[in-house]
Amino acid sequence: MGITADFSREQIVLDRGIDLVAGIDEAGRGPLAGPVVAAAVILDPGRIPDGLADSKALSAARREALFDEIVANATVSAAAVSALVVDRINIRQATLLAMRRAVAGLAKPANHILVDGRDLPGCPCSGDAIIDGDALCVSIAAASIIAKVTRDRMMDRLATAHPDYGFQTNRGYGTAQHLDALSRIGPCSIHRMTFRPLSQGSLFTS
């Protein structure tokens, strides 16, 4: 059933004599509200949790269970960049900033990073960008789980502060419920005003 994530890409780097290889991924590039979150994970080769996969392919319960396993058995860091900064510097730059912050926050400095996607964030170590890395590389898959669960928990807290938008279920994405709330009451302080349809203005009531 297709290619599954494994440790082969990390092992190639380790075989070159480079230790402390971190997987990097993000959550929340597409939503209309809330932060973008990135995570960095250095797995212990002898204690890799079973079932690591792209967070989008896992149930919420499985993500939560794996989150706890990853935190217990790996070196983990997560970082968020707010919607305000997303609007100021654009989502691509905000995502790269979150990745740099996540790498900088690792208790053990990474000597090499493996990043999901096409872009390296500009960290002071070597790295590889891997398209579909969250489905191919267990370190990136682990980072995708940490980023997703961290962001979901943040959106749950923001849902309490901003109860009219259903953030606890839509996570800030442009669902029909979310768009309906925007049309009735307009945006709040955590909306990304440079994202369509927010940037168009005509969605909102006066």
What is the DSSP track for 100-152?
Answer: HHHHHT-SS--SEEEEESS-----SSEEEEETTHHHHBHHHHHHHHHHHHHHH
- Ranges of residues in the chain whose predicted pLDDT is under 70: 1-3, 202-206
pLDDT value, residue 4: 75
Query: Are residues 41 and 75 in contact, defined by beta-carbon separation less than 8 angstroms?
Result: yes
pLDDT value, residue 53: 87
Give pTM, 2 decimals: 0.95
DSSP reduced 3-state for 70: helix
Angle between helices 8-15 and 138-161 (to 10 degrees): 120
Half-sphere exposure of residue 54: CA atoms within 13 angstroms, side-chain side = 12
Instruction: Convert the pLDDT of each residue in 30-61 to its tens digit.
Output: 999 999 999 999 999 999 999 998 898 999 99
The superfamily (CATH) of domain 8-161 is: Ribonuclease H-like superfamily/Ribonuclease H (3.30.420.10)
Instruction: Convert the pLDDT of each residue in 174-187 to its tens digit.
Output: 999 999 999 999 99
Domain ranges in the chain?
Answer: 8-161
